[in-house]
Amino acid sequence: MLDAFGAGYYLSLASRIVVYAIAATSLNLVLGYGGMVSFGHAAFVGLGAYVTGILVSEGVLGIGWHLLWTVAVTALVAAAIGAISLRTRGVYFIMITLAFAQMLFYLANSVKGYGGDEGLSIKARSLLGFGLDLKNPLVLYYVALGVLALSMVALARFVPSRLGRAVLAIRDDDVRAEALGFPTYRLKLVVFVVAGALGGIAGALNVNQQGYVSPNVLHWTQSGTLMVMVILGGVATVWGGLVGAAALLLLQEVLSAWTEHWEFWTGWVLLAAVLFARQGLVGLLLARRHRPGPSPPPGIGDTR
């Protein structure tokens, strides 16, 4: 729809929103539905961006290769991180995921061959074949939109499925789920890995969109931003990732056009959201439409 405007700026903004929405949705999977507060999710996004970026700078341009390697590497790393982290719970899980993300951040800082702390710029982009190239902003937008749509449909189908119900049961009370015979550790690990891989795909799209990746993409404040998008949009809702990403990025755009102190006002809006929109924006919108509103997920970050 936006291509009718023809304005490159809006297309680029929309693409950014969609790519962030994919990342936020992947975090919502692990955080909202899986109940695992991973404070290191930006690491997977960054990892995907770096894998694709490095492949492009080495001359490997086919999107098939990019997706294959991105998913393989991020899934593997997520499996390793998850295997260790999921042995902990509560705030310790949060800290250890953060720790691993920080390790990857410092690793990215030290890869002198691929930019180091200055980051990596790429000249080319992923090739889709049939003459289609992600350098074309329109193609990029539609590819990203397609990935987002697929992710959301998959998520919507996952939740009521047997696997989904098992995961939700574990989220709500993993001791009881364990007692009932669910393989809690294995299921949580699966969710963690899938979410990580999807985050990696978002990263691959991100480096294509920006033409650049730097260690900052893996910084813990980026993980924080993703969490903010999820919480703002609506934890454990299919639309939460998209709504949160769109809300935050649009807010930043609008505010930064108006004042250089947009961070200040963004903070206040977020604060208002926490205090007055407890179920996130999706919850707010749903509550307006019909009462009672969606039942809030139990305190996901609760640690005892």
Partner 1 sequence: MSGVLVLEQALNGLQFGLMLFLLAAGLTLVFGVMDMINLAHGSLYMVGAFVAAWLVGLTGSFVLGVLGAVLLTGLFGMALEAGLLRTLYARDHLSQVLATFALILILNDGVKMIFGTDLPLSAPAALAGPVELLPGLQYPAYRLLILGVGLVLAVALWLLVQKTRLGALVRAGASNRTMATAMGTNIPALFTIVFGIGAALCAVAGALLGPLLAVQVGMGENILILAFVVIVIGGIGSIRGALVGSILVGSIDTLGRTLLQHVLREFLPPQWVGAAGPALASIAVYVFMAAVLAIRPQGLFPART
Applying the rule CB under 8 A, the residues between 66 and 85 that interact with partner 1 are 84
Closest CA to 104 of 225, 223, 230: 223
Q: Is 109 in the site for partner 1 (CB under 8 A)?
A: yes
The correct pick among 232, 245, 248, 286 for binding partner 1 (CB under 8 A) is 232
Long-range contacts, stretch 178-187, CB < 8 angstroms, 24+ apart: 185/86, 185/87, 187/163
Applying the rule CB under 8 A, the residues between 34 and 73 that interact with partner 1 are 37
Min dist CB 119 to partner 1, Å, is 14
Q: Is 286 in the site for partner 1 (CB under 8 A)?
A: no
Q: Are strands 132-133 and 127-129 parallel, antiparallel or unpaired?
A: antiparallel
Q: Is 120 in the site for partner 1 (CB under 8 A)?
A: no
> How many residues contact partner 1, by CB under 8 A?
45
Q: Is 92 in the site for partner 1 (CB under 8 A)?
A: yes
Min dist CB 24 to partner 1, Å, is 13
- Whole-angstrom distance, CA of residue 119 vs CA of residue 108: 9
Q: Which amino acid is at 155?
A: L
Q: Residue 89 or 165: which CB sits closer to partner 1?
A: 89
Closest CA to 124 of 56, 186, 225: 56
Q: Residue 24 or 134: which CB sits closer to partner 1?
A: 24
Q: Is 139 in the site for partner 1 (CB under 8 A)?
A: no
Q: Is 118 in the site for partner 1 (CB under 8 A)?
A: no
- Whole-angstrom distance, CA of residue 304 vs CA of residue 91: 9
Q: Is 300 in the site for partner 1 (CB under 8 A)?
A: yes
Quick one: which segment of 43-51, 104-112, 141-149, 205-213 binds partner 1 (CB under 8 A)?
104-112
* Inter-CA distances, 107 with 39, 146, 214, Å: 18, 32, 11
Q: Is 27 in the site for partner 1 (CB under 8 A)?
A: no
Quick one: which segment of 66-74, 98-106, 147-155, 200-208 binds partner 1 (CB under 8 A)?
98-106
Closest CA to 55 of 65, 43, 45, 64: 65
Q: Please tell me whether residue 121 adopts helix, strand or coil conformation.
A: strand
The correct pick among 9, 275, 289, 292 for binding partner 1 (CB under 8 A) is 275
Q: Is 168 in the site for partner 1 (CB under 8 A)?
A: no
* Triad 217, 33, 38: Cα angle to 5°: 35
Q: Please tell me whether residue 182 adopts helix, strand or coil conformation.
A: coil
Q: Residue 73 or 104: which CB sits closer to partner 1?
A: 104
The correct pick among 14, 17, 21, 96 for binding partner 1 (CB under 8 A) is 96
Residue with tokens 């009672």: 292
* Residue 114 neighbours by CB distance under 10 Å: 15
Residues 6+ apart with CB under 8 A from 298: 172
Quick one: which segment of 93-101, 146-154, 178-186, 192-200 binds partner 1 (CB under 8 A)?
93-101
The residues that bridge with 120 in the sheet, in sequence order, are 213
Q: Are strands 120-121 and 212-213 parallel, antiparallel or unpaired?
A: antiparallel
Interface residues with partner 1 (CB under 8 A)?
31, 37, 84, 87-88, 91-92, 95-96, 98-100, 102-103, 106-107, 109-110, 112, 116, 220-221, 224, 227-228, 231-232, 235, 261, 263-264, 266-268, 270-271, 273-275, 278, 299-303
